[in-house]
Amino acid sequence: KAGVTQTPRYLIKTRGQQVTLSCSPISGHRSVSWYQQTPGQGLQFLFEYFSETQRNKGNFPGRFSGRQFSNSRSEMNVSTLELGDSALYLCASSSRPPSYEQYFGPGTRLTVT
Amino acid sequence: GENVEQHPSTLSVQEGDSAVIKCTYSDSASNYFPWYKQELGKRPQLIIDIRSNVGEKKDQRIAVTLNKTAKHFSLHITETQPEDSAVYFCAAHLPGFQKLVFGTGTRLLVSP
């Protein structure tokens, strides 16, 4: 099976802009979670989608949003970018619950200047 | 709220030594505890996991132990090799949520 893929892999944006990141889960996996990874804060949970529904959300401002499509692909959007949004954004997929194993994509490295 | 503490933040060992990384979780409802290995510039890779109904699990040179009473779990790597050098993350899963709460990571350096 192909692994989790994310596009784009690298992105440079300017403060105030918005950005959309994409994640394609492992075939057959219906749950997609998003995490922000920074050197100072580690891996922080953003949100999780299952069957196009957001089931859980982390402590991030409303500028961070996401969605999931019927084919389980997911996107996350960050509006009004701030310098502090510079991070590696990782998505992870897992199969139908109660399987808890999450498999990560390579991430999108976002740099905000 | 849920919290996972991980120690040490860095660990240096000689090739062939054993390495132990410890994590403590706060929510007693946590029921699944994975460990991820992240090499520089790569994605986190699931290397071993344990569920709350098991006390220990082994896979070749790595093992994980869980003490539910004390709410802590540990990763043990024996006969370390230079290719074990990476950042290791522990995590705890809350039932009812597809959400992992991660520790802050341990940078393991294995010197030849």
* Chain B positions touching chain A (beta carbons under 8 Å): 32, 34, 36, 42-46, 49, 89, 91, 93, 97-105
Chain B residue with Cα closest to A106: B43
A66-105: pLDDT as tens digits: 999 999 999 999 999 999 999 999 999 988 665 578 999 9
Cβ-defined contact of A42 to B103 (cutoff 8 Å): yes
- Sign, CA torsion A11/A15/A20/A25: positive
Cβ-defined contact of A106 to B93 (cutoff 8 Å): no
Cβ-defined contact of A104 to B105 (cutoff 8 Å): no
State how far the Cα of B9 lies from the Cα of B109, in Å rounded to an integer.
11
Q: Which residue has the higher pLDDT, A42 or A15?
A: A15
Half-sphere exposure of A59 (CA within 13 A, CB side): 6
Judged by DSSP in three states, B82 sits in helix
State how far the Cα of B84 lies from the Cα of B74, in Å rounded to an integer.
16
Long-range Cβ contact pairs of B61-65 (< 8 A, separation 24 or more): B62/B35, B64/B33, B64/B35
Name which of A76, A24, A69, A23 is nearest A50 in CA terms: A69
Longest alpha-carbon distance in chain A: 41
Average pLDDT, consecutive stretches of 10 residues, N- to C-terminus, chain B (112 residues): 90 98 93 94 94 91 96 97 97 81 95 94
Which pLDDT score is estimated for A35? Answer: 95
Average pLDDT, chain A: 93
Distance (Å) from the alpha carbon of B81 to chain A's nearest alpha carbon: 24
